[in-house]
Structure 1
């Protein structure tokens, strides 16, 4: 049977004047106790032992227990606190020494200290409560947090460390100076929560932690919405991150699984995987990323499946020795490249669809910079594929429709094309310039307003079993010191010439009714000049008599006319 005790500073029949005296009486009897506390402010330390329930007699918020310094409540046994406001400063406000502690419909005001402390071997539950201006700390303990609010923590709002196991559900965490929830060498699940205005990552997993996140909303974060580092694992499902610097990030060997998430208006990156981290991202949407929607860098290796990237600057960037694999991803309406592989990165893209992006794929770097595209479609672009530096690009079953240039290779890069099609381009189907090399089999170019193939500089083309139809200028054109060979190819239509060449191209079994013209030319009309300058303009098409300036406060242009120089 539970013994009942009443606390009232105003006195009364069998009432205790303070809470401590009621606790001493309950401890002396050694039975389960219910202590009902009248409204008021109590400046005392509560040492609660045994099976005890502390209740605010007239409802939550009517009883305030506080001290200027030191702990306010220490529990040992099976202790429940209902409706009390505990106020402390620069110390542990409510701690569980041994056993279990439950805070129900209560408030904890820590003022820079630890609001709630659950040390090793204890179990602490917070339900329908508020923890303000302090952190909740689970160390090697078990915890349950339901429908609570954590506000303005001077540190991490909730820290789960050293093997602790904690579940946080249906709660709101706002204004944390560091993290909303930090999990370090421990396990935690965060379900159905709102997190906002964190100074660093809203959710952080480090030191081989395991973090499970589901159905959460994260907004206005100064760093990452969710961050996995130091070989941490876990999953993120059906969660929304808005207005963070990075949506979801993984680093230093972490490997999360992310499904069904929406990452919107992230200022830098939506998905960021680096420093030997991995990660699998499925059925996600990255919308309006300020810099790169999906970034793999410094050895990161994400796998992205069945996702949508829309709006923003660059879609996917793989750089600095990273590896990225994209499968069945849609990329739409970007102001820059849909796919970018740079500086030793390796990109594998399968079943990708790219619509209305300035550039489809661009690569630049050393010989270890590679991109492999299979069953990829580019629509409404300026250049579908551009390979520069000494990078290597392989296309299989790639389609490019409605643009300026289909496939381009320059500098010392190499482009290999199999079973691919370019349709309705205004300049050229495939272009080799500089010292670039193009190797193509079963390439089809339909409806180019310029050429089917164009080689200039020292570019080289080896093209076989290919077909060029209705190319307004020429099926193939070779200028400068470029060369190559066409084997078992066909040029169809009624416009232009079959081949315009410089004597450095070998024609084997060419099928055409159009003329083949040999002449020495230094340049070929409509041969595209492709300039990739990430701080300046991106230009496709022949450029004549133009001036460009960027990163200048003022620009002065001089144009020569028949009457002499004019100044603007």
Structure 2
């Protein structure tokens, strides 16, 4: 049983006038001690050794220990503190050198410096306590923080370094000038916590640290909600980040696993993976991102499986020599492009559904810029389901495009391969190639185009085989300028328009149609010629013929020439 000591500055039977004298008496006896402290303000530096309990006799907040420019509580042994308020400046307010320290219903005010310092090989627990202005520093120590509040830290609210292992549960961290929690070359677990108003990342891991986060809420952060860097690892589960600059970031070789999280209203990006980082993201929702929902750049290589991207600007962007694999994602209601692959990057998209975005997929860059899209649906894209340029190379397999202006388009020196894909009810064309682009299609089906099934212009090359074009208002296939290639074993059905408008450079083999085939010299009666330059994709205002299309230009011009009823120009 612990020996009982009473501290009462106004005196009393067998009472000690201050805490220090009670500690000396306890140390002299060498037994476990319970020191009960009467209400008051004590200007003391407490050095506690052995098995000691310090208790505010009349409950939390009734005892204040305040000593500027000195450590207020210095412990080694097995020490428990209940209900005290500890105030310090310019030094560690609480320091545990060895053994265990438990702070329960305690307030710690650190107007500068460290609030709690757990040194190597010690164990410090904080329960139902409050830390203001300073930080809790665990250096090579073990720690547990439960149901605590950290407010207005001048640095990081909690720092876990040098191999320390700390668990933070059910706590709130607010207003930290730098991070809410930083773990560096150590292990930290953060569960069921709320973090808000931090100057930089609310939670950050670096120097090969491990950070485990679950069931947390992070709001109003000036940097990342959660950041992994420098080969750090860990996991994030069932966590919501709202109003951060970036929701969850990974950089410099980090590789987290993120599951069932919501990243809402992030000012720049929801998921940001860069500088050779990786990461696996499962069943996450990215809502209303200001710039890009999922961003891989500068060698980043994420895998994203399941989940939803809704609202905001760009959906998924893979740029600057990055790679990514994306499966089972719904992308909807964006003001810009759903999927973007630029600048020597590569991406694989499988089982993607895109609804009501300005464009579906854009690819642009050198020959190392590649994308594979499989089992994907683009619906109600305002401009184009797929539009690629530069020297990029894109493969589509079992892809469906519905509504919008253009199904699949290729320009510049890019190459687009299309297999087992369907375009329905576009207003302009099912598929097209211009510039020096190459379009290779097998088993392509275009239904109900408002103008053309497939077209080629400029010096493009088209290799179309075993494909079907049905009910295209103007022509199943149209070839202009220097476009070349072949149309093999294809079918043009319907009662409107013509089957093929040729230019003498595209070989037609095994064509099945009941509609008219026009040779290069023949011109069908109908709407006037239009030359269209646009920024993101072709715009057709009515059924057209003899079209010339370019996108990505800075200048916009439109020329129109009238035709007589026999098709000759007036």
Tell me the TM-score normalized by structure 2.
0.93
Deviations 1:294-352 (A, max 9, x none): 00011100000011000000000000110011011100000000000000110100000
> In the alignment, what sits opposite 1:128?
128
Does residue 283 of the first structure (1) align with residue 283 of the second (2)? yes
The answer to whether the 8 Å contact 1:529/1:542 transfers is no
**CA 317–13 in structure 1, closer or farther in 2 if over 3 Å, else same:** same
Q: Is the 8 A contact 1:477 1:524 kept in 2?
A: no
Whole-Å separation in 2 of the counterparts to 1:526 and 1:338: 29
**Is the CA contact (8 Å cut-off) linking 1:479 and 1:520 kept in structure 2?**
no
Measured at CA, do residues 34 and 524 of structure 1 come closer, stay the same or move farther in structure 2, by a change above 3 Å?
A: farther
Helix, strand or coil for the counterpart of 1:306? strand
SS in 1 for 2:25: helix
Paired residue for 1:316?
A: 316
Superposition RMSD in Å: 1.9
Instruction: Please give the alpha-carbon distance, in whole angstroms, between the structure 1 residues aligned to 2:333 and 2:66.
Output: 57
| Partner SS state of residue 357, structure 2 | coil
How many Å separate the matches in 2 of 1:236 and 1:540? 44
Q: Which residue matches 2:535?
A: 531
For 1:23, what is the secondary structure of its paired residue? Answer: helix
1:243-262 counterparts in 2 under 5 A? 243-262=243-262
Alignment gaps of 5+ in structure 1: 533-537, 545-549, 552-556, 560-568
CA distance in 1, matches of 2:13, 2:56: 18
Structure 1 pair 354–525 and aligned structure 2 pair: CA distance change class (3 A): farther
Matched, 1:378 2:404: no
Partner residue, 2:352: 352
Distance 1:117 1:91 in 2: 10
Alignment of 1:398-547 (within 5 A): 398-520=399-521, 525=529, 529-532=533-536, 540-541=539-540
Shift of 1:221: 0.4
Deviates more, 1:217-226 or 1:513-522: 513-522
Distance 1:235 1:541 in 2: 48
CA apart distance, 1:531: 2.1
The C-alpha deviation readout for 1:457-478, integer Å capped at 9, x for no partner, is 1111100000000000000001
Match of 1:535 in 2: none
After superposition, give the CA deviation of every residue in 1:269-300 in whole Å (9 maximum; x if it has no partner): 00000011000000100000000000001110
| 1:386–1:407 Cα contact (<8 Å) kept | yes
> How far is the alpha carbon of 1:530 from its aligned partner?
4.6
1:396–1:429 Cα change, 3 Å: same
Q: CA deviation at 1:520?
A: 5.0
Q: Distance in 2 between matches of 1:515 and 1:232?
A: 65
- Contact map agreement 1:37 1:63 (CA 8 A) in 2: yes
Distance 1:8 1:501 in 2: 105
Q: State the Cα distance separating 1:527 from its structure 2 match.
A: 7.3
Q: Is the 8 A contact 2:504 2:520 kept in 1?
A: yes
Partners of 1:529 and 1:282 in 2: how far apart?
40
TM-superposition CA deviations, 1:125-152 (whole Å, max 9, x none)? 0000001000100000000000000000
Q: What SS is found at the alignment partner of 1:231? A: coil
> What is the rounded CA distance, in whole Å, between the counterparts of 2:410 and 2:72 in structure 1?
72
Q: Distance in 2 between matches of 1:484 and 1:526?
A: 23
CA offset digits 1:225-264 (Å, max 9, x no partner): 0000000000000000000000000000000000000000
SS state at 2:444 partner: strand
User: Are 2:115 and 1:111 aligned?
Assistant: no
Residue in 2 aligned with 1:21? 21
Match of 2:361 in 1: 361
**Contact 1:527–1:542 under 8 Å retained in 2:** no
CA contact (8 A) 1:526 1:541 kept: no
User: 1:324 & 1:259 partners in 2: Cα distance?
Assistant: 17
Contact 2:122 2:142 in 1 (8 A): yes
Aligned twin of 2:568: none
How many Å separate the matches in 2 of 1:380 and 1:391? 24
Looking at structure 1, the residues matched to 479 and 311 of structure 2 have their Cα atoms a distance apart, in angstroms, of 38
What is the TM-score normalised by the length of structure 1? 0.93
1:196 matched to 2:200? The reply is no
Q: CA deviation at 1:68?
A: 1.6
Offset at residue 395 of structure 1 (A): 0.2
Checking the alignment, whether the CA contact within 8 Å between 2:406 and 2:538 is kept in structure 1 is no
Mapped partners of 2:354, 2:533: distance in 1: 23
How far off its partner does 1:525 sit? 4.4
Q: Which residue of 2 aligns with 1:156?
A: 156
Query: Post-superposition shift, 1:98?
Result: 1.1
State the distance in 2 between where 1:84 and 1:69 align.
19
Quick check: 2:427–2:540 contact (8 Å CA) kept in 1?
A: no
Q: In the TM superposition, what whole-angstrom CA distance separates every residue of 1:163-190 from its partner, at most 9, and x where no partner exists? A: 0000000000000111100000000100
Kept in 2, the 8 Å contact 1:454–1:527? The answer is no
CA distance in 1, matches of 2:94, 2:521: 89
1:540: how far off?
3.1
- 1:193-342 matches, within 5 Å, as 193-342=193-342
Partner deviation per Cα, 1:406-452 (whole Å, 9 max, x = no partner)? 00000111100000000000000001111111000000000001000
Query: Shift of the alpha carbon at 1:3?
Result: 0.6
Shift of 1:108: 0.4
How many aligned positions are there?
Answer: 544
Residue 541 of structure 1 deviates from its aligned partner by 3.6
Contact persistence 1:529–1:541 (CA under 8 A)? no
